[in-house]
Amino acid sequence: MKKVLVIGANSYIGKKFNEYVRNSKVLELQVDMVTASDGGWRKVDFSSYDSILHLAAIVHKKEKKQIWPLYDEINHKLAVEVAKKAKENQVGQFIFLSTAAVFGNRTSCITKDTIPDPVTYYGKSKLAAENDIVKLKDKNFKVAIVRPPMVYGEGCKGNYARLEKLARFTPIFPDYHNKRSVIHIEKLIRYLNHIIKQEKEGYFYPQDKKYLNTCKEIYNIRKKIKKKTLLIKTPIILITSLINHVDIVNKMLGNMYYDESL
């Protein structure tokens, strides 16, 4: 049995991970949870753990210039400090939950050769943490960087929740089809579990087998709540122009997906 310490006890993914492990019929992991915001992790002896799973982060906040120091402090500096303590305490594996946002929002198909180019404070702070944490790895300290795309599932906040809310009040939508990588929370939890059990290291790009098509998703969400949707044909040139110049349209209708080879 492996012992895992989760940094970020109050996070959505942290709670789901703990729930998954405790409900598992096969007792392969022992999970302890600790919060990051109150500095509780500093009082914990890491040396008894096989893996540290770092989930603590600032996310889903309106990005203003004044808030950058908070992103940098929590998403970057705190994560690196935790990783350094893990290495000093001779923990064998450190798993950092990063994000697809490190690639920015203008790259359609992300491959192994795609260079990160974040545009948001969230993406920039996560990439800064990645770069500093990777420097710590050696033969005795494995580092796993996990870059999930949009996460969805029961109780999940963020972009998918906004999409669901939009669908409820959008009877008309462009008949335009795109591809976006997503991952269900249960699949992400199983993926993290696999990384821990197999003592994996490197960069990881978990995603569902099928890409999300925003138009179809809006239609299906509305169908489930017994609402009709009128899909209107829209000139491709107009949609493309909006995607290239309006960020919120790009988030909804633009392509951003991991290549299946990743």
User: What are the pLDDT digits (tens) for 46-86?
Assistant: 999 999 999 999 886 677 778 899 999 999 999 999 999 99
Q: Is residue 233 part of a domain?
A: no
Cα–Cα separations (whole angstroms), residue 84 to 102, 137, 216? 22, 10, 45
User: Residue 44: phi, psi to the nearest 5?
Assistant: -90, 135
Q: Is residue 123 part of a domain?
A: yes
Q: Give me the number of domains the chain comprises.
A: 1
Better pLDDT: 25 or 251: 251
Q: Is residue 262 part of a domain?
A: no
pLDDT in the model for residue 162: 87
Q: What is the mean pLDDT of the chain?
A: 92
Contact 91, 247 (CB under 8 A): no
Residue 18: how many CB atoms within 10 A of its CB?
18
Q: Which residues contact 24 (CB under 8 A, 6 or more apart)?
A: none
d(CA 171, CA 14): 36
Query: Which range marks the domain in which residue 100 is found?
Result: 2-157+181-210
Q: Is residue 220 part of a domain?
A: no
Q: Is residue 198 part of a domain?
A: yes
227 pLDDT band (50/70/90 cuts)?
A: very high
pLDDT tens sequence across 167-216: 999 999 999 999 999 999 999 999 999 999 999 999 999 999 999 999 99
CATH number at residue 114: 3.40.50.720
pLDDT in the model for residue 149: 96
Give the position of tokens 């893990």: 86
pLDDT tens sequence across 9-26: 999 999 999 999 988 866
Q: Is residue 176 part of a domain?
A: no
> Strand runs (DSSP E) across the chain, as ranges?
2-7, 29-34, 51-54, 93-97, 109-110, 142-146, 150-152, 172-174, 182-184, 202-204, 230-232, 257-258
